[in-house]
Structure 1
Amino acid sequence: MNSLSGTGATPPTAPGRLPLIGHGHQLARRPLDFMDSLREHGSVVRILIGPTPAYVVTDPAITRTVLVSEAEAFAKGGKIIDALRVFFGDGLATVADGDVHMKHRRLMQPMFNKAHIATRGDVMIDHVRAATAAWAEGDAVRDTYEDMNALTLSTFLIALFGPALPAHVEEEFAGLMPAIMKGTIRQTILPSWVTKLPLPANRQHARRVARLRELIDHAIDHHQSKLAEAPDSAGEGLFSTLLTATDPVTGQPLSRQQLQDEAITLLTGAIETTGTTLAWSLYEISVNPEVERRLHEELDAVCGGRPLRYDDLGSLTYMRSVLKESMRKYGPAWLVTRTTTRPVTLDGHPVPEGADVIYSPYIHQRDPEVYSEPAAFDPDRWDPERAKGIGRSSFLAFGDGRRKCIGEEFAWTELLIILATITQRWRLTPASAPPRPQAIVTVKPDKLSMAPHPRTAVPRDTTVPTPPPAKCPVTGH
């Protein structure tokens, strides 16, 4: 029962708290194992971040109450949102619930309709083909996670701002984001008084955030100058939608602060989630020969010997299942927060007004009561018949309810374009030990080196040979 009224027993407190820091040490040292262990203590479990209590929901049905059916009682907020707001500002991901959020969402929605995204599809494909053409056969140490983040960023920048963006903007942004994300998680799991001290780590985080805004300003200025030179080029970047939008209340163009906030929100989401999903997908394809065979078979049936086209994406159903299974197994988010707007009762447990409520897509998507063999990589679990038993709140890669990710359609487009373009031309084999999941903002591989080997597409109606199983050079498996 997921009632939000009445009284009940105080939720159980997770074991292992320490004076002053509470469970902060466990969130810092073993976040995924700690979050997963909470399921055995109940549907709602109390933890302490410093001296401040937070309430972790481990039951997907109750998470749906938080996100959908009783969303007005759970505002977008909490420590992670407060930390993200430091560099997102009031972008769509962090702006408060209510009229302001709905106004932002309506302004941005045209950027992400299917027809608008389609105008950038073939440009993105050409960019990915050119970027991966330089890979050399047998490169022993390509950092696949870094490769996918860089490729995701450059592809999204092409889609967002059009071509010819100054190279230093892309390069610096790619270098800044990992450090900013680590600093954000640090601010989330440490007591607030620590994050306010003039410590070197805190000052460095502030400097990186300030530099990020300067880079975004350069990108916006570049795009505005291109539009001024050639007004008919407005369709060359999705961001033109915001540059030409007007506030429905004031009738004025968006302020520079609003443009900055939305650009940072879009770019951060594009890199962290998409790049991580692609890295894990390439790894799982490389160590699952049957998955690789079926993926190649589908690609060759759809494209034959010609390059991928945007119109092909809708036919790549198995590839979509592979990507969805990567999202399920590895998050991508492992900790999301809301703040109660009034006293509530969750599954019989009272939660006070102003409390942080936490849910974890990572643990929901590995719940053994929902997913058989949750640690296994099984794209076939997304076959329509098998997927009928999976509730909406047991797969939260794009969130749910009124705060569901506005860029889901674009994310799927970019994921399919990049994975299809790479796997059509290359087979990647592991060149390092099996990666371990590491919780930053997304659940990323700690280390993932892979070697590319060219492959030749098999024309339609031709039998596809089964490739030899890829083995890890360390374990031999």
Structure 2
Amino acid sequence: MNTPHRAAIPTATAPGGLPLVGHGHLLARKPLPFITSLRDHGRVVRIRIGTTPAYVVTDPSLTRRVLVTDAAHYTKGGKIIDALRVFFGDGLATVADGATHRRNRRLMQPMFNKVHIARRGDAMIEQVRAMVTAWPANRPRDVYADMNELTLSAFLVALFGADLPKHLEGEFTALMPEIMKGTIRQTILPNWITRLPLPANRAHAARVARLRALIDEAIDHRANRPDRSTKAKATAKTKAVAMAGAAADGGGGGKRAMGCPHAAAAREEEGLFSTLLNAKDPLTRQQLQDEAITLLTGAIETTGTTLAWTLYEIYRNPEIGRRLRKELAAVCGDRPLRYEDLDQLPYARRVLQEAIRKYGPAWMVTRTAARDMNLGGHAIPQGADVVWSPYLHQHDPDYFPAPDTFDPDRWETDRTPTTRDSFFAFGDGSRKCIGENFAWSELQIILGTILQNWPRIQLTSQLPRPQAVVTVKPDTLTMTFHRF
């Protein structure tokens, strides 16, 4: 039973709160040390964001109850989700639980099954390879910016097809970091400040409006393209008839006509977003915008951050780099990476999973208690924000010994039973990240392509420090890439 009057454990309030801003100053100035310190105060700890109380869950087993076992009583909401809705709208990540969420997830699920992703895999690799090989050698590069640009470009190819106008990609890359900064600012500041007509608030609103206009342009571009699949099918049918005739004359062309390569190529060109545009139960234009923004934001920020930290850890741990390149060489030899190679690169997967574990990607997520709840003996009042932190759980020494050590081998099969209990990078339950399969493919494609083309990387900036925005990003990270 979850009756709150049976709660017997007093819920501690975190130290350091101030009038009016609560613990907002700590969340703004030193968010990661603050959020991880809460483990010392109990399994559930009360904080204040402005004047609003929130309950931080520090025990991963209780977080699993919030996300899975009792998920119906902890709905998608809270201050962070409210701030994200400003530019996500009612996309899959922020829409309230219920019929709309179930329907939209059902419509979008086919976009992210392995068959759909595989159809775009080689096009993504080609795009990434073209960008990576164009980097000049031996010159310092902003690695975080580069990784965001690569992930965005690869995802745009997968989402909208390969012929999206170039100016859209450039504006997306410029807008997204500033929008994310504005969003986290709105999350940690009191509501009355974020509603004032201050320059920062007006600038954030203008950036969000521009992002929506760009998304609208991308949707229109994709929707107004000629129906290439129809043309391809007609072409394929004509060729098939011709080859069948040749086969009847002894030419042997019938077998070569099988498979409809033109139709397959057309499917690859269409992009994942065609699934939504061509759905029998179509979304409205507003819903299409919301979902596109949600997908792009998730693809850029989390994947780009993970790759930046991965390259840094490879620089810090040369043996990891040697093992990665040895694995790539064993699978690919001297040829470029192919999509079908990804499943044969288990060590690369472990390295990426450890980067996700150590650096987030998200560091604070919220739910709202739909009724009075008893969570591990703690009383959670109806309407309260319930906070959980993948970063906190993934640095729990009870589950991840030496959590600040980068150790890809902790993900070997015989060592994973406890680690998986505290790994929440993609969430859990019915709201688990729908794009997890895509994220793993994109991460491996980009990492493998970089390592194949640049045998040596060197750090040229000071050591980066984790900076909690929406993801845990490096505050500065420049590197040079060398061919020898």
TM-score, normalised by the number of residues in structure 2: 0.91
> What SS does structure 1 have at the residue aligned with 2:304?
helix
Change in CA separation of 1:382 and 1:4 when aligned onto 2, cut-off 3 Å: farther
Equivalent residue, structure 1, for 2:95: 95
Equivalent residue, structure 2, for 1:243: 277
1:313 and 2:351 correspond: no
Please tell me the residue identity of whatever aligns with 1:191: P
Equivalent residue, structure 2, for 1:330: 359
Equivalent residue, structure 2, for 1:14: 14
Equivalent residue, structure 1, for 2:205: 206
Equivalent residue, structure 2, for 1:46: 46
Equivalent residue, structure 2, for 1:138: 138
Instruction: Tell me how far apart the structure 2 counterparts of residues 4 and 440 of structure 1 sit (CA, whole Å).
Output: 36
Q: Deviations over 1:295-323 (max 9, x none)?
A: 11101111111111111000000000000
Change in CA separation of 1:4 and 1:109 when aligned onto 2, cut-off 3 Å: farther
Q: Deviations over 1:343-397 (max 9, x none)?
A: 00112111100000000000100001111110000000000001122243x1111
Q: Deviations over 1:151-189 (max 9, x none)?
A: 100110011111121111111111111111111101110
Instruction: Tell me how far apart the structure 2 counterparts of residues 8 and 204 of structure 1 sit (CA, whole Å).
Output: 47
Q: CA RMSD in A?
A: 1.3
1:399 and 2:427 correspond: yes
What is the aligned length? 447
Q: Deviations over 1:204-248 (max 9, x none)?
A: 11111100000001101111122446645354211100000132x
Larger CA deviation: 10-19 vs 335-344: 10-19
1:185-196 paired onto structure 2 within 5 Å: 185-196=184-195
Instruction: Tell me how far apart the structure 2 counterparts of residues 9 and 329 of structure 1 sit (CA, whole Å).
Output: 31
Q: Deviations over 1:2-23 (max 9, x none)?
A: 9665233441000011111110
Equivalent residue, structure 1, for 2:400: 371
Instruction: Tell me how far apart the structure 2 counterparts of residues 96 and 324 of structure 1 sit (CA, whole Å).
Output: 29
Please tell me the residue identity of whatever aligns with 2:461: S
Please tell me the residue identity of whatever aligns with 1:117: I
Instruction: Tell me how far apart the structure 2 counterparts of residues 270 and 210 of structure 1 sit (CA, whole Å).
Output: 20
Instruction: Tell me how far apart the structure 2 counterparts of residues 288 and 7 of structure 1 sit (CA, whole Å).
Output: 48
Instruction: Tell me how far apart the structure 1 counterparts of residues 179 and 418 of structure 2 sit (CA, whole Å).
Output: 38
The percentage of aligned residue pairs carrying the same residue is 66
Give, in angstroms, the shift of residue 454 of structure 1.
1.2
Give 1 or 2 for the bigger CA radius of gyration: 2
Instruction: Tell me how far apart the structure 2 counterparts of residues 229 and 152 of structure 1 sit (CA, whole Å).
Output: 26
Asked whether the 8 Å contact 1:169–1:215 carries over to 2, the reply is yes
Instruction: Tell me how far apart the structure 2 counterparts of residues 284 and 227 of structure 1 sit (CA, whole Å).
Output: 45
1:266 and 2:265 correspond: no
Instruction: Tell me how far apart the structure 2 counterparts of residues 234 and 317 of structure 1 sit (CA, whole Å).
Output: 29
1:361 and 2:386 correspond: no
Equivalent residue, structure 1, for 2:463: 434
Name structure 2 gaps, 5 residues minimum: 233-265
Instruction: Tell me how far apart the structure 1 counterparts of residues 38 and 359 of structure 2 sit (CA, whole Å).
Output: 18
Equivalent residue, structure 2, for 1:408: 436
Instruction: Tell me how far apart the structure 1 counterparts of residues 295 and 141 of structure 2 sit (CA, whole Å).
Output: 27
Instruction: Tell me how far apart the structure 1 counterparts of residues 43 and 417 of structure 2 sit (CA, whole Å).
Output: 23
Larger CA deviation: 3-12 vs 353-362: 3-12
Asked whether the 8 Å contact 1:328–1:397 carries over to 2, the reply is yes
Asked whether the 8 Å contact 1:4–1:346 carries over to 2, the reply is no
1:114-193 paired onto structure 2 within 5 Å: 114-139=114-139, 141-193=140-192
> What SS does structure 1 have at the residue aligned with 2:467?
strand
Change in CA separation of 1:229 and 1:420 when aligned onto 2, cut-off 3 Å: closer
Instruction: Tell me how far apart the structure 1 counterparts of residues 212 and 408 of structure 2 sit (CA, whole Å).
Output: 39
Asked whether the 8 Å contact 1:8–1:349 carries over to 2, the reply is yes
Change in CA separation of 1:310 and 1:229 when aligned onto 2, cut-off 3 Å: closer
> What SS does structure 2 have at the residue aligned with 1:226?
coil
Selected match of 2:445 from 403, 407, 417: 417
Q: Which has the higher helix share?
A: 2
> What SS does structure 1 have at the residue aligned with 2:326?
helix
Please tell me the residue identity of whatever aligns with 2:431: R
Equivalent residue, structure 2, for 1:29: 29
> What SS does structure 2 have at the residue aligned with 1:46?
strand
Name structure 1 gaps, 5 residues minimum: 248-252, 456-477
Asked whether the 8 Å contact 1:8–1:345 carries over to 2, the reply is no
Larger CA deviation: 219-228 vs 77-86: 219-228
Equivalent residue, structure 1, for 2:217: 218
Give, in angstroms, the shift of residue 425 of structure 1.
1.3
Instruction: Tell me how far apart the structure 2 counterparts of residues 317 and 3 of structure 1 sit (CA, whole Å).
Output: 42
Give, in angstroms, the shift of residue 135 of structure 1.
1.4
Change in CA separation of 1:438 and 1:4 when aligned onto 2, cut-off 3 Å: farther
Selected match of 2:321 from 277, 284, 292: 292
Instruction: Tell me how far apart the structure 2 counterparts of residues 9 and 366 of structure 1 sit (CA, whole Å).
Output: 25
Instruction: Tell me how far apart the structure 2 counterparts of residues 108 and 212 of structure 1 sit (CA, whole Å).
Output: 21
Equivalent residue, structure 2, for 1:255: 284
> What SS does structure 2 have at the residue aligned with 1:53?
strand
Asked whether the 8 Å contact 1:334–1:360 carries over to 2, the reply is yes
Instruction: Tell me how far apart the structure 2 counterparts of residues 183 and 57 of structure 1 sit (CA, whole Å).
Output: 26
Q: Deviations over 1:59-100 (max 9, x none)?
A: 000000000011011001001100101111111001111111
1:350 and 2:350 correspond: no
Please tell me the residue identity of whatever aligns with 2:213: E
> What SS does structure 2 have at the residue aligned with 1:450?
strand
Instruction: Tell me how far apart the structure 2 counterparts of residues 227 and 311 of structure 1 sit (CA, whole Å).
Output: 30
Instruction: Tell me how far apart the structure 1 counterparts of residues 472 and 425 of structure 2 sit (CA, whole Å).
Output: 12
Equivalent residue, structure 1, for 2:254: none
Asked whether the 8 Å contact 1:246–1:254 carries over to 2, the reply is no
